[in-house]
Amino acid sequence: SAITPKSYESRIETHPSPLARRLLKIMTDKKTNLCVSLDVHTKHELLRLADALGPYVCVFKTHVDIIDDFTYESVIVPLVELSRLHNFLIFEDRKFADIGSTVKAQYTSGIFKIVQWAHITNAHALPGPGIIDGLFAGTSNISEERGLLLLAEMSSSGSLATGDYTDKTVDLARRNKVFTSGFIAQNRLGTGDEDFIIMTPGVGLDDKGDGLGQQYRTVDDAVSGGSDIIIVGRGIFAKGRDPVAESKRYREAGWKAYTARVK
């Protein structure tokens, strides 16, 4: 796409989503467009990585339902403390995909109570507008900023989220730009006058795939294509890798590619 977004800093004032404004400010202050995906199975690993890598990231992405020893008190409470200490946002990659009434309950209730602590969450557009309305209704008692990303494209091989589905997902986001801060996508989406945060998974500098459909692109490829935030998981924490050294490497590569784009 030919659409070149402006600098993160210049977008802070104008973005329609309060959550996006807060995120763009963190990215500007910390000089990082790196989101680390903390896909680990114990609370000890999760909290250790959140503390060690916190200085290098703007966002930590979680899948809290894969933590074997999860409790709200022992995972969420310290993770929120770390988010304040290191100034990062928390993104629970929940991928809601049901009718409005059900997703509202899934967002607010159960053992995870995602809306209480996740600054950002995401949803598939498949069910239509009710999914956004239901999730937005779930934020009614929350005083802090909350943001939603719609999955407009996926990194996995053979993904069905392409073409017309992607275009219609962008149309859905336009209905509530205060809450729908942007997209999980592989390309810049929206018109030149619109500002959606584009977060891109499937980024890796040393691997091509994972044998289960994941496909990796380089940092330069993602950012020059319009991605605002690169999401990196196993590229940083896979066995044998040094997560701090890799976080620094991806952060530097991400910031360099961004600087080249806005020049």
Positions 84 through 143 that interact with ligand BMP (CB under 6 A):
93
- Determine which residue in the list 83, 139, 155, 180 makes contact with ligand BMP, applying CB under 6 A: 155
Q: According to the binding rule CB under 6 A, does residue 222 interact with ligand BMP? A: no
Active-site residue, from 25, 95, 177, 248: 95
Query: Minimum CB separation from ligand BMP for residue 99, in Å?
Result: 21
- Options 25, 31, 51, 98, the catalytic residue: 98
- For the bound state, the minimum distance from the C-beta of residue 93 to ligand BMP, rounded and expressed in Å, comes to 5
Residue 214 in marked binding region: yes
Pairing of strands 197-200, 229-232: parallel
* CA 101/CA 124 separation, integer angstroms: 15
- DSSP conformational letter for 86: H
Residue 92 · residue 123 · CB < 8 Å: no
Residue 154 touches ligand BMP, criterion: CB under 6 A: yes
Q: Return the exposure string of 32-58: e unless at least 16 CB atoms fall within 10 Å of the residue's CB, then b.
A: bbbbbbbbbeebeebbebbeebbbbbb
d(CA 153, CA 151): 6
* 178/110 Cα distance (integer angstroms): 26
| Candidate list 34, 184, 223, 257; residue touching ligand BMP; CB under 6 A | 184
For residues 75 and 104, give the distance between their C-alpha atoms in angstroms, rounded to a whole number: 22
Question: What number of CA atoms fall less than 13 Å from residue 75's CA on the CB side?
Answer: 27
Structure tokens at 76: 């969420």
> For this structure, is 98 an active site residue?
yes
- Quick check: 123 and 103 in contact, CB under 8 A? yes
Nearest Cα neighbor of 224 from 182, 261, 250 is: 261
Work out which of 17, 32, 33, 37 binds ligand BMP, going by CB under 6 A: 37
Among 100, 201, 243, 254, binds ligand BMP (CB under 6 A): 201
Instruction: Report whether 208 belongs to an annotated binding site.
Output: no
* Residue 241 marked in a binding site: no
Comparison of 179 and 183: residue with beta carbon closer to ligand BMP: 183
Binds ligand BMP by CB under 6 A, chosen from 32, 180, 214, 247: 214
Residue 201: CB minimum distance to ligand BMP, A = 3
For the annotated catalytic residues, the residue numbers are 93, 95, 98
Binding site for substrate: which residues? 39, 61, 155, 214, 233-234
Instruction: List interacting residues with ligand BMP (CB under 6 A).
Output: 37, 39, 63, 93, 154-156, 184, 201-202, 214, 231-235
